[in-house]
Amino acid sequence: MSEHAERDSANLTVVKSAAKAGDLPESVEQNAVQKTPSAIDLENTDFYENRELNYFKFNLRVLSQASNPKHPLLERLMFLLIFSSNLDEFFEIRVSGLKKQLDFGRQRAGPDGKYPEQVLKDIHLQVREALTEQYAILNEDLLPSLAAESIHFLPRHEWNKELRQWTREYFDNEIQPVVSPLGLDPSHPFPRLVNKSLNFILSLEGKDAFGRESGLAIVPAPRSLPRLIKVPTEIVPDGDNFIFLSSIIHAYVDELFPGMSVNECHQFRVTRNSDLEMSNVEVEDYAMALQGQLHSRRFGAATKLEVGVECPENLTNFLLERFNLTTEELFEVDGPVNLQRLMALYSMIDRPELRYPQFSPGNPPLLEEDNDIFAAVDKEDQLLLHPFQSFIPIIDWVRQAAKDPSVLSIKQTLYRTNESSELVEALAEAARNGKEVTVVIELRARFDEEENINFASILQEAGAVVVYGVMGYKTHAKMLLFVRRIGNTLKRYAHLGTGNYHRKNSLSYTDYSLLTADEVLCTDVHKVFQQITGMGKKIHPKLLIHAPFNLRKSLLKMIEVETETAAAGKTARIVAKVNAITDPDIIKALYTASIAGVKIDLIVRGICCLRPGLAPVSENIRVISVIGRFLEHSRVYYFENSSPQIYCSSADWMERNLNNRIEVCFPILKKKHAARIKAELELYLDDRSQSWELSATGEYQLLRPVCSDETTEDVQMLLLKQLS
């Protein structure tokens, strides 16, 4: 019997036993017992999760942290607000994309078989339930807990005489001079309201000075004013006291319409499509064309309307009509509609006991401040895991290179970086010092487009060469390359990472950084830069794997090696840590590997369209999601029977990363570094404190300690202790 036949025979036994046990979906069950597993229909929609709905499950896991007593109180509030921020982006990008498919009659079912119309209905239902839960957590748990810590949000009905006088003065001095009330009549049509802005709709009685009585008005809250206002201690001496801008506007809104009566005043907010659509304009016009698109983002098609629960039906219907939305797209909330703006509270009070304890990221001895980083990397490759280890050495390396007369050139990709970027300053200094500086800036990094355009201008003015990547492909790779003269030879050094060159994010996102002088690896990085900035035929790196060229093919090949190894009766294992898995080809390959007996562990923070635990298709696959203090962002792949076994990457296992982005996947060549990363992956897989496991039904369950009286530290805290 051939190896292929032996494999099919063995797997057929598994299929038959699974069919008897009723583990397979019925449609698969009927075929599986009649055909070899090679004929199992891996296109079956029962094997796939819907991308949008699964993302929303991730956001629910974020929301659940707001109720988790393990987190300090202010951090719990932040999780609640991050849920709001994520939800906004979800509607701005993903929901608007589904609506476009409906509008243009281009509905396409995904691998899960669901069409956009059904997905939108499910989203609206689940979001409505989640918002009810979110505001219940806020009103019944967080606000009382904050009040117990002497942090108060003072509603209008609790204002005493002194506070009322102070708010009146604030209204007169700060709000009234900048607010623009808008009466609605034929000469004052419904205004174009900015995406996610706070507004009020009013019903009025009486006539104004011109004899008009439209009955309706809109009051946009001034965007130049803070949404949360701290009350001076001389007005309310006890604790930290705050008032919402919306409360002050509501209290004195009648002052904006003298001689008229305000019958109703209710806050509302509309969320709009914010996905930029860029055609293939000429490269020299690209920045200008993108800049022109940024303004339109503020006024895209509406996707969601939020109003206060007390807003009457006639006013909500009026708003729905104006925004061309349905009642399904209306969400009534029991509290401020612009909840995300509460994030300002975090920096407005000094209560360290209500926050996570501060920590100092660790540093390997060779990378300590003021050390020669080139000498450290010459000695051996340096591997860092942020935020547990510092990101500062990467910034210092660029600063050092900018001043080092032996450094001839610097090349770097920038996808996202922080507002006042030290890296941009260092690169500009290097260019001014006469070094050849080339920076590939991705202008289309969502919501960072304007900032990246500004950084491009700063670098160009300093004399750096700035390119915007390749039309049609986002440059998502994280690469930094130095060329340095040592004697009569040139030597290359490189930094490769899984995350962005963003110092602020490096304190809250988990990411790997590799600092290397490996000749082959650095030559590969040089080739990729040449491919991006120049033109030419496909390159063939020796160690790097890069998208959109060979990353998909290489991943499928490495999965196939594990599949064949398991089919031959040998041990085979795959561990992958990514932000998302949506690519159908990768999922089918993992299913095939699982059927063959490969043990597969997937650590997926966000979207996972694969369903684990379905015998015989995915019974060897386990999926966990870790949600905690730090945002899990690193991408790491382990293939037991490949050499090298460990790869780090900028790419998730998504169609966009494998098909439409420039990504790099780099091997970890040093055995001690590979062993370290493998051990750190095992810590994640063993976590039973902040991990959620995905079941065969598509639901996530929070894992509990094995013993009920066992107290376990979560994996992030363990790494913090080990590395900082």
Tell me if 305 sits within 8 A of 325, measured CB to CB: yes
| Cis? peptide before 548, omega within 30° of 0 | yes
Query: Strands 436-441, 465-467: parallel, antiparallel or unpaired by DSSP?
Result: parallel
Count of residues for the chain? 724
Rounded to the nearest 10 degrees, the angle between the axes of helix 96-103 and helix 116-137 is 150
Helix (H) or strand (E) holding 220: strand 216-220
Bridge partners for 344 per DSSP: none
Q: Single out the residue of 284, 295, 651 nearest to residue 456, CA to CA.
A: 284
Tell me if 54 sits within 8 A of 609, measured CB to CB: yes
Q: Single out the residue of 572, 570, 583, 720 nearest to residue 651, CA to CA.
A: 583
DSSP state letter for 389: B
Rounded to the nearest 10 degrees, the angle between the axes of helix 51-64 and helix 116-137 is 0
Helices and strands counted in the chain (H then E)? 22, 27
Q: Is 476 a catalytic residue?
A: yes
Distance CA 484, CA 493 (A): 8
Tell me if 126 sits within 8 A of 194, measured CB to CB: no
Distance CA 28, CA 1 (A): 27
Listing DSSP states for 118-154 in one string gives: HHHHHHHHHHHHHHHHHHHHIIIIIHHHHHHTTEEE-
Distance CA 26, CA 24 (A): 6
Distance CA 362, CA 387 (A): 9
Sign for the pseudo-dihedral over CA of 630, 583, 43, 17: negative
* Number of Cβ atoms within 10 Å of the Cβ of 169: 10
- What does the block give as tokens for 417? 């970086």
Distance CA 430, CA 400 (A): 9
- What does the block give as tokens for 192? 């174009």
Burial of 530 (0-12, 13-18, 19+ CB in 10 A): middle
Q: What count of Cα atoms within 13 Å lies in the side-chain half-sphere of residue 188? A: 14
Q: Single out the residue of 119, 153, 147 nearest to residue 230, CA to CA.
A: 153
In order of 26, 399, 408, 426, 516, the CA distances from 435 in angstroms are 66, 12, 5, 12, 21
300 Cβ neighbours under 8 A, 6+ residues apart? 92, 96, 195, 272, 273, 274, 275
Distance CA 667, CA 674 (A): 9
Helix (H) or strand (E) holding 409: strand 407-414
Tell me if 187 sits within 8 A of 168, measured CB to CB: no
Tell me if 431 sits within 8 A of 469, measured CB to CB: no
In order of 3, 11, 248, 278, 588, the CA distances from 6 in angstroms are 5, 9, 76, 52, 21
Distance CA 619, CA 613 (A): 4
Listing DSSP states for 170-189 in one string gives: HIIIIITTT---EE-BTTBP
Catalytic one of 124, 250, 476, 502:
476
Question: Which positions are annotated as active-site residues?
Answer: 476
